[in-house]
Amino acid sequence: MSADDVLIKAEGLEKSFGKIEVLKGINTEIHKGEVVVIIGPSGSGKSTFLRTLNLLEEPTGGKIYFEGVDITDPKININKHRQKMGMVFQQF
């Protein structure tokens, strides 16, 4: 896969709730057409990771790129980029 087909990229992604570090420096690339599965035990940060990728949760640190644009930049209109994103949440 080439760098041109990177859809979502996380660099050093961090998220804390108070003193609790949930996401600790995540680095990943998701390419167009790629299927990604996030698995882990309850409470391991899976939902927080997904919510942070869409900025439903504000990251504590790091960068998130969507189609090459740094969506963690405060000058970015995140609602414009969310029009191209879709998320499905599972309810228990």
- 88: enclosing H helix or E strand: none
User: Locate tokens 């790091």: which residue?
Assistant: 62
Q: Tell me, yes or no, whether 91 lies in a domain.
A: no
Range of 12's domain? 3-82
The tens digit of pLDDT for each residue in 75-87 reads 999 888 888 887 7
**∠ CA 38-79-29 to the nearest 5 degrees?**
30
Count CB neighbours of 23 within 10 A: 20
Q: Tell me, yes or no, whether 71 lies in a domain.
A: yes
Q: Tell me, yes or no, whether 57 lies in a domain.
A: yes
Higher pLDDT, 83 or 27: 27
User: Locate tokens 């919510």: which residue?
Assistant: 51
The answer, yes or no, to whether residue 3 has pLDDT greater than 80, is: no
The model carries a pTM of 0.86
| CATH code for the domain of 68 | 3.40.50.300
User: Locate tokens 């167009």: which residue?
Assistant: 32
Quote the percentage of the chain above a pLDDT of 70.
91
Count CB neighbours of 35 within 10 A: 5
pLDDT on residue 52: 94
